[in-house]
Structure 1
Amino acid sequence: MASRRTWPVTTFRLVVLVTGMAPAIWLLWRWFEGSLGANPPEAVVHFTGLTGLTLLLVTIGFSPAFRLTKWPGIMIARRQMGLWAFFWLLAHMVAWMGLDQYWDWPWIMRDMMDLAYVRYGLAALILLLPLALTSFKRVQQRMGPRAWHWLHRLIYVSAALGVTHFWILTRADYLLPTLYATALCGLVLFRLIDALMHRQ
């Protein structure tokens, strides 16, 4: 059996595509089947947010995976995974505004001003916007690799804000947000150690 390093890049990108699309298919099926629980709109809001945060951490995890395997296909597909993460987090915000707030803009603005978790979530999404817009090769070439890499380190700040948003929203069982926070801390620690090692 061929190792992961020998997987064709197109195959791996197909896996990333399925990973990004499969949650939408599952969510639509559950919605039309009527099996999203007593409060389907709330279930959609939570599902889209959790999916987006998961894919965001997976995107960050592509860098240490590349460092450990040296397989270039991982970095080629990282942009694709990052865009899926942005899509799902944007869907989370749209679902919250439409299904939870009913597009009541005065109420939405009031929540943004009064609720800390809303501000954290909004800030996380805003930080991802320039990353999504500059994730294409042509833009990267115009910016230069140094500026592009510095800008894309905002993904760590965005992920930290997303985990904080998730933590504040949790009311009882903190196991899942703790796992996400631990995963993020591990990824940041790997990044710091790797940076120190390459300076030597």
Structure 2
Amino acid sequence: MSIAKGPVLMFRLLVLTSGLLPALWLAWRWGQDDLGVVPEEAMVHLTGRIGLALLLATIAFSPAFRLTGWVGIMIARRQVGLWAFAWLCAHALAWMGLEQYWAWEWIWHDMQDLPYVRYGVVGLVLLVPLALTSFRRVRQAMGERAWHWLHRLVYVSAALAATHLWILTRADYRLPMLVVAVVAALILFRLVDAARHRQ
């Protein structure tokens, strides 16, 4: 048992580091005035990209578990998912505070008029019930079937995030294309795996 716990603990520490270190890095660069000509915009973009990367990693844990069978992956998945949610909340707060200066009239105006803002907001809102129900006691109270159905919303949220990034991009589409490809591959894997287990 102790042999199994060692790698799992190390993996969870790696997950903790992956969620925490970018915050320290961003805080350092902000303090050093090293985020470019428009640091507020850089902060908004970087928090969003880190959150999106962690969200995709959260979804990728299921196929990784299917392929490897290592339970440590699934043990750490909730931790990664909560980090993704935290970073995406930071992305939204950075946008509202650093770019919109908490001017709720303009925030509401952008939500109504800019499609990429609407996609981003809806994608984040869909993650709220997933974060609230990610704890073991809530999962047990809901039942496995209902919990799994609810948490499939993560695929919808990821697709909305990819759409948000695509519309927001103006020139270099390499990152949006990569994100779309990863989201499509993860959804395809989920559908194929579900069909295979129904047989």
Distance 1:194 1:153 in 2: 14
Amino acid at match of 1:95: A
2:158 corresponds in structure 1 to 159
Kindly state the Cα deviation for residue 55 of structure 1 after the two structures are TM-superposed.
Answer: 0.4
In 1, the alpha carbon distance for the partners of 2:137 and 2:160 equals 29
Residue of structure 2 in register with 1:14 after alignment: 13
Q: What amino acid maps onto 2:65 in structure 1?
A: F
Instruction: Report matched runs for 1:86-101 at 5 Å.
Output: 86-101=85-100
Q: Is residue 195 of structure 2 the alignment partner of residue 199 of structure 1?
A: no
Letter in 2 for 1:173: D
Deviation of the 1:199 alpha carbon: 1.1
Partner of 1:181: 180
Task: Give the ranges of 4+ consecutive aligned residues of structure 1 lying more than 6 Å apart after TM superposition.
Answer: none
Identity among equivalent pairs (%): 66
> Using the alignment, how far apart are the partners of 2:173 and 2:92 within structure 1?
22
Correspondence list, 1:1-80, <5 A: 8-80=7-79
Q: Secondary structure at the match of 2:97?
A: helix
Q: Distance in 2 between matches of 1:194 and 1:119?
A: 31
Offset of residue 196 of structure 1:
1.1
Distance 2:5 2:62 in 1: 18
Distance 2:149 2:193 in 1: 16
The one-letter code matched in structure 2 to 1:145 is E
Q: How far did 1:84 drift?
A: 0.3
Deviation digits for residues 55-103 of structure 1, max 9, x if unmatched? Answer: 0000000000000011111001000000000000000000000000000
Equivalents in 1 of 2:6, 2:43: separation in Å?
34
Residue in structure 2 matched with residue 169 of structure 1 by the alignment: 168
Give the drift of 1:22: 1.1
The alignment's TM-score, normalised by the length of structure 1, stands at 0.96
Shift of 1:33: 1.1
Q: Deviations over 1:7-51 (max 9, x none)?
A: 621111000000101110110111111110000000000000011
- The two structures have a TM-score, normalised by structure 2, of 0.97
Unaligned residue ranges in structure 1 (runs of 5+): none
Query: RMSD between aligned alpha carbons?
Result: 1.0
**Cα shift at 1:153:** 0.2
1:170 deviates by 0.1
Letter in 1 for 2:144: P
